[in-house]
Amino acid sequence: MLATAWIVGASPCHTQAQELNARVSINRSQVSNTKGEVFDALQKTMEDFLNNRKWTDLTFRDNEKIQCTLNLTVNTYSDTDNSFTCSLLLTSSRPVYGSSYTTTAYSVKDPQFTFTFREHDQLEYDINNISNNLVALLAYYAYVIIGMDMDTMAPKGGTPYLQTAEQIVQAGQTMDYPGWKAFDDSKNRFGLLNDYLDGAMESMREWEYVYHRQGLDRMASAPDSARAAIAEGLDLLRQAHEAKTMSHVPLLFTEYKREELLSIFTERGTKEEKEKAYDILFAIDASQNESWKKLKK
């Protein structure tokens, strides 16, 4: 059964720590005959950029920082023009009220994480003047991480941070790098954020709050009631999917929450809850039917 963990609460305390505790790992096994120094420098520079900057007016205690990992796979690197083409797997997590359990707040794969970087480069961020794509990428994901985390804490609590991420996407339109362009790919940075903030998908943001605050955060104290809230809230996820059936956003949620959803319903769910969960989750991602079928046992 899902245990449930200590949580920050809906409003972080105002102290002097930054918001993120990011860990960066770099896999360069596909790149041969290159010195490791530039990759070590890149890892440190990325972590420093994310962790040593105040991204919002809210500041957290050290033990309240948002935990996140950025796993970077280097596909190509040129020491001639200092260019990197990489893929990124980003995951952020948040504690769940009442125990040591942590849940994934957001996870996404970005196959177009492309930039230039030299060993001694310093990354400078100015929201009104973004010309470096690595800066744009990291700042964008910093605000997405914070925004998604805040949406799990309060209804649409992440709005100001996601709107800043939207500003960065607009700046990205002027740069000659993939992943920023409107309508190039519904799963790129523009597509995912644009869908998530679309008024037609508002129920998706309501679902984030219901699932985490009314569901997971009450699992330790009132497991049956918490599970029932999640089961009822699944209608919000269904509404989001039906409002924009080509959107990848609901599908993405079911991908990184799959095992957790199964755990919630297979261990103690009622027959009606399991049937409802199966119908909605199968409608969103039929490719995972082997997993969803566990709800029918």
| 256-to-31, 49, 50, 216, 229 alpha-carbon distances in Å | 29, 26, 23, 15, 20
pLDDT in tens, 208-253: 999 999 999 999 999 999 999 999 999 999 999 999 999 999 999 9
pLDDT in tens, 37-86: 999 999 999 999 999 999 999 878 888 899 999 999 999 999 999 999 99
User: Hey, what are 127's tokens?
Assistant: 């929201």
Give me the percent of the chain exceeding a pLDDT of 70: 94
pLDDT on residue 45: 98
Q: How far apart are CA 294 and CA 297, in angstroms?
A: 6
Nearest of 146, 246, 161, 155 to residue 203 by alpha carbon = 155
Nearest of 264, 251, 282 to residue 107 by alpha carbon = 251
In sequence order, which residues have a C-beta less than 8 Å from that of residue 100 and are 6 or more positions away? Answer: 3, 5, 6
pLDDT grade for 13, boundaries at 50, 70 and 90: very low
Nearest of 109, 197, 184 to residue 151 by alpha carbon = 197
